Amino acid sequence: MVQTTQLKITGMTCDSCAAHAKKALEHVSGVRSAEVSYAKGDATVVMAAETSTDALLAAVAGAGYRAELMDRPGASSGGGDKADHAGRQLHIAVIGSGGAAMACALKAVEQGARVTLIERGVIGGTCVNIGCVPSKIMIRAAHIAHLRASSPFDEGLGATPPVIRRERLLAQQQARVKELRHAKYETILDGNPAIAVLRGEARFKDSHSLSVRLREGGEHEIAFDRCLVSTGASPAIPPVPGLKDTPYWTSTDALASDKIPQRLAVIGSSVVSVELAQAFARLGSRVTILARSTLFFREDPAIGEAVTEAFRAEGIEVMEHTEASQVAFRGGEFMLTTGQGEQRADKLLVATGRAPNTRGLNLEAAGVEINAQGAIVVDPAMRTSAPDIYAAGDCTDQPQFVYVAAAAGTRAAINMTGGEAALDLTAMPAVVFTDPQVATVGLSEQAAHLKGVETDSRLLTLDNVPRALANFDTRGFIKVVMEEGSRRLIGVQAVAPQAGELIQAAALAIRARMTVEELADQLFPYLTMVEGLKLAAQTFKKDVKQLSCCAG
């Protein structure tokens, strides 16, 4: 007497895996035949009635995969696995392994799907490896170096300029990067049997299959039900004559350098350029920033003015409305030709934005549309123009922040598995880790006016904020923007030490649709920087210079 048994198999990454599992099953005593499908993640085994099912599971495990009986009471097939109309487990392919990819993979597994994650480089993506984590470590070290050399309390605390040992700081930085990558990415992936990791470069064959050029050689094909593209972005290099023939730095190179150059020129005027420019200046470089317009030219003009003033006070040269028309490298130094004369430097950092990593994916074969900048166009549910293909993170037309990417990845997974979730960016906070920091949320006055929204606003300088006065550091401001008529808070812009720590309160107030009067009436702890948000809201009705300390 024979019977048929169904197995669910996880851990397979290609058709060759299915062939290995099939061979292992057919070697079990009593098995007449076995059919294994990589695409479906299952096996159909015809065997003698007395054949041990434990032997089947052991055989699959011996081949390097994990199997469960699909007809066992309480097994995963009856315990919430996401399946299609034919009853098989949904298979999701995820291209990339950064914030968006990990969030999607983990949520998809939680929803009952199985995942194949494909990574061509280092696990973890930009943020942990070459972006947020190493840059903030370097910025923090530079901040401490700056305070040791100079602070508002030097009259009573003798300043001692530190000796900078960049090679030791770099080792400390990279050790923490490795630690976080292992704890938050590699260990999680290794410990999740429903996620198979494939090392190689993916390319679409059509709207439901990928070809992967494996790192160790050869090609594998992957069939999927749904796919997430989360391939991130890379530094965009402007077409300046001569630049490509020089050993310029990108942000990746700068963060990995074990030397602090004596002279550093920086091309760029936004987040990465200003953060690294100040960090290198505080660690000993003489820094010159070439800004095509002004610093933060896309933001409220007051932001660029305040940061420029702070930078110049530290000795950082900010050349506004300046572009390099030619770059050369001779005799170990860079020469940049500009309208204001020639600039010379030992190192040149080019930080003019990041371009989506979408080339080479063969997106057209899958019917996925991109915009003029090469970014994948997505809707609020992270759907692309192809019905079963989603995208999230820096490769899309959404803001390039890792927390946006992670939120998008989670929502994509929900939508892939039958749910409905959208990403609302109307109250998205953003922080630039300069000193003072820049933090924004919601609409600036200019952005509101472009949308046809009438506004009123107040700008409170930090000499009106008790925390700033107690710190003897009143650089910057807090600006509050409201909608005329409804008087709802619609935007906040801040330049202040620890501005990043206050902006979330503003984001929550916008999300709650609070009026400026309601915000002004909230309780804020005294001698905190976030109290400045309350004071700024109060200025719509009061002169805060006439209020006592912590006045309600």
The residues assigned a catalytic role are 12, 14, 17, 65, 127, 132, 549-550
Ramachandran assignment for 5, one of left (phi > 0), alpha (psi -120 to 50 degrees), beta (any other): beta
| DSSP per-residue string spanning 40-55 | TTEEEEEEETT--HHH
Identify residue 39 by its one-letter amino acid code. A
Closest CA to 450 of 302, 295, 271, 298: 298
DSSP H or E stretch at residue 468: helix 466-471
Output the six-digit token pair for 330.
Answer: 């001779």
3-state DSSP assignment of residue 428: coil
- Count of CB atoms within 10 A of residue 252's CB? 15
**Beta-carbon contacts of residue 498 (< 8 Å; ≥ 6 apart):** 437, 529
CA 417/CA 114 separation, integer angstroms? 11
Cα–Cα dist 457/475, whole Å: 20
DSSP 182: I
- Specify the DSSP element, H or E, that contains 68: strand 66-69
226, 107 Cβ separation under 8 angstroms: no
Q: How far apart are CA 139 and CA 371, in angstroms?
A: 34
Residue written as token pair 């992670």? 406
* Amino acid at position 52, single letter: S
Using DSSP's 3-state secondary structure scheme, residue 157 falls into coil
Burial (CB < 10 A; 0-12, 13-18, 19+), residue 534, is: buried
Instruction: State the CB neighbour count (10 A cutoff) for residue 551.
Output: 12
Tokens of 414: 């929900």
**C-alpha separations of 71 from 53, 77, 79, 83 in Å:** 11, 8, 11, 15
* N-term to C-term CA, the chain: 85
User: Within a 10 A sphere around the Cβ of 544, how many other Cβ atoms?
Assistant: 17
Dist CA 383 CA 391 (whole Å): 7
